[in-house]
């Protein structure tokens, strides 16, 4: 397999900050619809998409995402089908970064090197694994490498995106942030995913603490449900991650692909307001 520069898409996305980053799981409400939904998000304003890999015990996810993943599993979604779906999205002309977000157990069961290799071949741009702490990620990092024969100038292995939370102690935050790649996924609230009525207190200070330890983009997720909230976060952060609100809005629609277009356009417009004001 010929090596390629995979970080360019992620780097390029952050050239015009803040960016809009929706999450949507493959296989919900069915595989073909989920592919079409992600394509619609990508072509109507999303700057980077977190592509969900379903798991039966998603501890970090709230009820909306859990329900969607359960539906996807009932429909027969698998890791192999998910990777094939990423390749299909690239064939359909989706050019923005696609970061795979999933739990470690299915990845281990699939085989680390096999998973990483097929993800790269499919056109993925990185990984988010909520239940893989930095202290236990050595095995994944070891599999996520390029042999000397394949290395080319400027090549970077697919980044494992690190997550930080408000409860992360300063010493551990420094350890995680200083070695992070791609961007930091900053969890804005304590608890599982899901839109909240208001933004977390002290968010600006939390973002500032993270930026003391890294120069890579800091993106905020968990609890953001409206374009107005996204705009408030986007003033502070480099990217805004919308998960449960995206899944709920699209999942409740009788026309999910059109709903995805409308959702992406509304949040894209919120980010544009910030950019035009800068």
Token pair for residue 106? 């299915």
Matching residue, tokens 């697919």? 158
C-alpha distances out from residue 185 to 28, 65, 146, 243, Å: 24, 18, 25, 12
Nearest of 268, 199, 222, 188 to residue 64 by alpha carbon: 222
Residue 135 DSSP label: G
* CA angle at 211 for the pair 101 and 171, rounded to the nearest 5°: 85
The residues, any chain, with a CB within 8 Å of residue 15's CB and separated by 6 or more, are: none
Contact 36, 26 (CB under 8 A): no
Question: Which active-site residues does the annotation give?
Answer: 50, 61
**Who's near 91: CB < 8 A, 6+ residues apart?**
none
Contact 237, 207 (CB under 8 A): yes
CA distance 25 to 33: 11
């Amino acid at each position: 397999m010929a090596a390629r520069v995979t970080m360019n898409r992620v780097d390029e996305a952050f050239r015009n900050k803040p960016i809009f980053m929706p999450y949507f799981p493959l296989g919900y409400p069915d595989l073909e619809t989920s592919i079409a939904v992600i394509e619609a998000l990508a072509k109507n304003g999303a700057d980077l998409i977190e592509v969900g890999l379903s798991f039966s015990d998603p501890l970090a996810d709230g009820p909306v995402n859990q329900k969607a993943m359960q539906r996807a599993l009932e429909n027969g979604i698998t890791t192999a089908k998910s990777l094939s779906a990423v390749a299909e999205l690239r064939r359909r002309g989706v050019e923005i970064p696609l970061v795979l977000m999933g739990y470690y157990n299915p990845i281990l069961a699939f085989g680390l090197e096999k998973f990483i290799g097929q993800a790269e071949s499919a056109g993925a741009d990185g990984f988010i694994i909520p239940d893989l702490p930095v202290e236990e990620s050595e095995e994944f990092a070891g599999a996520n490498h390029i042999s000397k024969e394949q290395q080319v100038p400027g090549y970077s292995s697919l980044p494992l995106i690190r997550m930080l939370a408000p409860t992360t102690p300063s010493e551990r935050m420094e350890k995680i942030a200083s070695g992070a790649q791609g961007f930091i996924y900053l969890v804005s609230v304590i608890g599982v995913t899901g839109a909240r009525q208001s933004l977390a207190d002290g968010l600006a200070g939390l973002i500032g603490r993270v930026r003391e330890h890294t120069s890579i983009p800091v993106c905020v997720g968990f609890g953001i449900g409206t374009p107005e909230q996204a705009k408030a976060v986007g003033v502070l952060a480099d990217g805004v991650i919308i998960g449960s609100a995206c899944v709920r809005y699209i999942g409740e629609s009788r026309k999910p692909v059109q709903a995805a277009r409308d959702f992406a356009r509304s949040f894209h417009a919120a980010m544009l307001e910030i950019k035009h004001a800068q």
